[in-house]
Amino acid sequence: MSSSVLFDVPGPRARLRNHGLTVIAAAAVLAVLYFVYRGFDDKGQWEGKIWRPFIEASTWTDYIIPGLLGTLKAAGLGAVCALVFGAVFGLGRLSDHRWIRVPAGAVVETFRAIPLLLLIFFLAYLAPSVLGSGDYTLIALVTGLTLYNGSVLAEVVRAGVLAVPRGQSEAAYAIGLRKGGVMRLVLLPQAVTAMMPAIVSQLVVLLKDTALGYIIAYEDLLNYGFKIIPAVFFGSLVPAAIVIGIIYIGLNMTLSTLANWLEKRSRRSRKTSARPIAPPGVIGLSAGAGLPEETA
């Protein structure tokens, strides 16, 4: 077996111990699954009459698909607005003008610090007071997703531009380009390639965050699955939760697969000298996430 600088290859006794621990862990997981199965079985959750609505086309056309479309609508609008917000404020934080850079930084840091659920609550209850009576659940949800995720994407944009080696901009200035031209023609094309994996990863987070619309009664997939379907088909809460959970997992795995593909593609790309930007955490981007050490 080949050795590694960062990993000591286990010997025979270590491999035997690892295999034993794997067997024990697998047995524990199976025991938990069996316990859950027996609990559902005792409550009659595996009876055919409870699951029958989910093999009928009307359940899907009247409830699940409209809920899925509501989720995708909020996610699509939130993603577009968050990308625009992130691009504007990310580039604003890179401005040479203090009167642009400081307010942009204040906006980004403020909305990154506010919990998204609190932000959605505030917008949902503020909108009727400002705009009059009406249904503002979609507006509140999309606005909250835009402000929070857009602030995170603004840091991704800033990190992506700063990840491009300084020699690229110096060479562009040397041939007479102004800062706008350097940013548009040299830095952004390379930064976009490096930013793409982190952007898609944040969009996966945005898609999952649409489920917070459940709290303000937005008619999305979660709302249909946990409120409307159990009310129409009595006793179908657990089957509905399982079906809705599978759909969410499928959506998120699709976007995650796209993010992994883009990350691998960006590593192989020769169109940029910037390294890929890692998805930012809650606190902020570190030097290892694409920011130069002195600016992290």
Question: What single string gives the DSSP state of each residue in 148-187?
Answer: HHHHHHHHHHHHHHHHS-HHHHHHHHHTT--HHHIIIIII
Lowest mean pLDDT among 132-136, 147-151, 279-283: 279-283
How far apart are alpha carbons 265 and 196 in whole angstroms?
Answer: 10
- On whether the CB atoms of residues 67 and 225 are closer than 8 A, the answer is yes
Residue-averaged pLDDT of the chain: 82
- On whether the CB atoms of residues 149 and 81 are closer than 8 A, the answer is no
pLDDT at res. 293: 39
Would you call 291 helix, strand, or coil by DSSP?
coil
pLDDT at res. 88: 93
Q: Read off the pLDDT band of 280 (50, 70, 90).
A: low
Lowest mean pLDDT among 88-102, 153-167, 212-226, 273-287: 273-287
pLDDT at res. 1: 45
Q: Read off the pLDDT band of 276 (50, 70, 90).
A: low
**For the residues 212-221, what does the mean pLDDT come to?**
89
Q: Read off the pLDDT band of 295 (50, 70, 90).
A: very low
- On whether the CB atoms of residues 169 and 241 are closer than 8 A, the answer is no
Q: Read off the pLDDT band of 291 (50, 70, 90).
A: very low
pLDDT at res. 50: 83
- 4 pLDDT more than 60: no
What is the end-to-end Cα distance of the chain in Å, rounded? 40
Q: Which of 75, 72, 74, 152 is nearest to 108 (CA)?
A: 152
Q: What is the pTM assigned to this prediction?
A: 0.76
- On whether the CB atoms of residues 158 and 93 are closer than 8 A, the answer is yes
| CATH code for the structural domain at 59-289 | 1.10.3720.10
Provide the 10 A C-beta neighbour count for residue 225: 27
**For the residues 142-154, what does the mean pLDDT come to?**
94
- On whether the CB atoms of residues 186 and 168 are closer than 8 A, the answer is yes
How far apart are alpha carbons 96 and 126 in whole angstroms?
Answer: 35
Give the single-character DSSP code of 272: -
Question: Which residues, other chains included, contact 50 with Cβ-Cβ below 8 Å and sequence gap of 6+?
Answer: 44, 233, 235, 236, 238, 239
Q: Read off the pLDDT band of 267 (50, 70, 90).
A: low
Provide the 10 A C-beta neighbour count for residue 39: 10
pLDDT at res. 294: 38
- pLDDT, greater one: 109 or 255: 109
